[in-house]
């Protein structure tokens, strides 16, 4: 049961069926109430019409024994103003709902009331009528009567009439409610039979429609399960030709798989390149230590220290890249870029700093931004012929730091590739001189983490111009 209602299709079918059921119950109740009200209104009208026909006869002075009281076997009572029954249908055996329970006329000589009325003849509610006039207002109520052994429910209407010689009389006439009961019962029976069938149809249609609508989702799920089992990130989920939310879900899933595949491939390449870069200094250190162990006098201490420093720098670069890949957020300190540039340029031969604006600052990590400038200066000094210039300026809401050298520049085809990890354009250059190829990759990653950009173009005086753009603090 829990598995059944854990299905989206089952929940959708149940919800749709419940909604339709509530709507059907509400509509059916409204129909039954409206039908009953209309039929009761028609019965009341028929009862009032019968009462007025008898009242018309009384108004013209027709004697009680000549009144037309037995039309269509409907119960009729004529009551005087003292509450005595003075005329009634011939076969009337029992009656309720009119306020007068008597069924046999009482002679006037008996005097007094035979049956107490229920207050319908309250003086405050009587109409002021002239002799021969029939009242315009009819009192309507429900009751029952037995005529010739048959008991039925009736709608009664009471109509007053003023006679010339008998005073004020009230004529009660009833109309049977059997038609109302029959129609309501028939409608109720039809609803009790039809509503479950309709709900079954709604549930079946909803089940089929949701199954068809969710079929692509099941295909996506199966393919994702297969990708998880096979660990083949090159596979993609099927995209249905429906141009709806499911199709957009499939497209987004494929985009996510593509990004995941690229990320995993980048990580694999990163691990392979890092292992390759670490192998050389480690092998060199091992060789020197093995030689020193066998021949202490041949130990190249300077070379061992240099290899150790290279390992230390490479490990620091790898650690920083790992932290950047993990999404580490930079600090939110205010960094004076001109002062930072002068600090990084201090002690470097041939490097000049020119600040075009007095106050150029960015928000972020001073250490990471210093690392960016240091890497750019290392790269510029490595390729410059004689001079490196650092410029700091403001462009609107951006702080711009430029590092220009007078070297050979960067070919246009390689201006994006140099920011990839472990990329060195000069393959013949030794690792000792050229580094591991992580400096520019780290610089761009840090710039992006600070909401900025790092690009390269030709310098005005020749060479390469690296521009770091960051939002101003």
Q: What is the CA radius of gyration of the chain?
A: 52
Q: Which two tokens stand for residue 169?
A: 């009389």
Chain centre to alpha carbon of residue 98? 60
Query: Which residue, 413, 423, 414, is CA-closest to 270?
Result: 423
Non-local (6+) Cβ contacts of 333 within 8 A are 363, 364, 365, 366
Query: Strands 168-176 and 150-162: what pairing?
Result: antiparallel
Do 387 and 352 form a contact (C-beta atoms < 8 A)?
yes
For the chain, 473 residues long, give each residue's pLDDT as a single digit of tens.
Answer: 455 555 788 888 899 999 999 999 999 999 999 998 999 999 999 999 999 999 999 888 888 888 888 877 789 999 998 889 999 988 888 999 888 988 898 875 444 434 434 444 444 456 677 787 888 888 899 999 998 888 999 999 999 999 888 889 999 999 999 888 899 999 999 999 999 999 999 999 999 988 888 888 888 888 889 988 888 888 888 888 888 888 888 899 999 999 888 888 877 877 777 777 777 778 877 887 887 788 777 777 777 777 788 788 778 878 877 777 777 777 788 999 999 999 999 988 889 999 888 788 999 999 899 989 999 999 999 889 889 999 999 999 999 999 999 988 899 898 898 988 877 766 434 444 456 678 898 899 999 999 999 999 999 878 899 999 999 98
Please check whether residue 154 is in contact with residue 175, taking contact to mean a CB–CB distance below 8 angstroms. yes
Q: Does domain 333-471 have CATH number 1.10.3720.10?
A: no
Q: What is the pTM of this model?
A: 0.52
Domain residue ranges in the chain = 1-230, 245-325, 333-471
User: What separation in angstroms does the CA of 101 have from each of 73, 117, 446, 455?
Assistant: 18, 9, 102, 107
Whole-Å CA distances, 175 to 90, 256, 378: 16, 77, 110
C-alpha distances out from residue 264 to 161, 234, 441, Å = 101, 11, 18
**How far, in Å, are 34, 43, 199 from residue 184 at the CA level?**
10, 14, 22
The first and second tokens of residue 165, run together, are 């010689």
User: Domain spanning 245-325 has what CATH number?
Assistant: 1.10.287.130
Rounded Cα–Cα distance for residues 337 and 207 (Å): 65
Cβ contact 202:215 at 8 Å = no
């Amino acid at each position: 049961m829990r598995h059944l209602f854990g299905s989206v299709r089952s929940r959708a079918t149940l919800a749709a069926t419940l909604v339709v059921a509530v709507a059907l119950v509400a509509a059916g109740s409204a129909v039954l109430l409206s039908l009953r009200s209309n039929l009761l209104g028609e019965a009341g009208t028929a009862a009032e019409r019968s009462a007025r026909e008898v009242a018309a006869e009384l108004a013209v002075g027709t004697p009680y024994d000549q009144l037309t009281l037995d039309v269509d076997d409907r119960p009729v009572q004529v009551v005087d103003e003292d509450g005595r029954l003075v005329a009634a249908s011939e076969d009337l055996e029992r009656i309720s709902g009119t306020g007068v329970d008597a069924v046999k006329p009482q002679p006037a000589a008996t005097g007094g009331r035979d049956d107490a009325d229920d207050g319908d003849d309250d003086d405050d509610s009587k109409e002021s009528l002239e002799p021969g006039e029939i009242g315009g207002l009819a009192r309507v109520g429900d009751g029952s009567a037995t005529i010739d052994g048959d008991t039925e429910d009736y709608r009664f209407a009471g109509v007053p009439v003023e006679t010339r010689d008998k005073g004020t009389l009230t004529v009660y006439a009833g109309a049977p409610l059997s038609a109302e009961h029959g129609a309501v019962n028939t409608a109720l029976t039809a609803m009790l039979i039809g509503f479950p069938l309709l709900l079954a149809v709604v549930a079946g249609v909803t089940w089929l429609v949701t199954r068809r609508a969710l079929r692509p989702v099941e295909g996506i799920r199966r393919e994702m399960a297969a990708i998880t089992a096979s660990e083949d990130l090159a596979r993609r989920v099927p995209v249905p030709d429906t141009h709806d939310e499911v199709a957009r879900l499939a497209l987004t899933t494929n985009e996510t798989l593509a990004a995941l595949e690229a990320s995993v491939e980048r990580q694999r390449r990163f691990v392979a390149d890092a292992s390759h870069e670490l192998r050389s200094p480690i092998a060199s250190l091992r060789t020197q230590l093995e030689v020193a162990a066998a021949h202490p006098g041949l130990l190249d201490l300077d070379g061992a220290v240099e290899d150790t420093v290279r390992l230390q720098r490479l490990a620091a670069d790898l650690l920083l890249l790992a932290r950047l890949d993990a999404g580490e957020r930079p600090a939110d300190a205010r960094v004076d870029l001109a002062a930072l540039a002068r600090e990084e340029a201090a002690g470097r031969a041939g490097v000049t700093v020119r600040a075009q604006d007095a106050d150029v600052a960015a928000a972020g990590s001073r250490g990471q931004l210093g690392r960016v400038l240091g890497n750019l200066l290392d790269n510029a000094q490595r390729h410059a012929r004689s001079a490196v210039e650092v410029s700091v300026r403001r462009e609107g809401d951006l702080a711009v730091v430029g590092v220009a050298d007078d070297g050979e520049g960067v070919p246009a085809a390689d201006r994006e590739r140099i920011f990839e990890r472990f990329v060195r354009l000069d393959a013949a250059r030794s690792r000792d001189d050229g580094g591991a190829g992580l400096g520019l990759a780290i610089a761009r990653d840090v710039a992006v983490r600070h909401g900025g950009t790092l690009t390269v173009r030709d310098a005005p005086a020749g060479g390469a111009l690296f521009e770091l753009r960051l939002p101003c603090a």
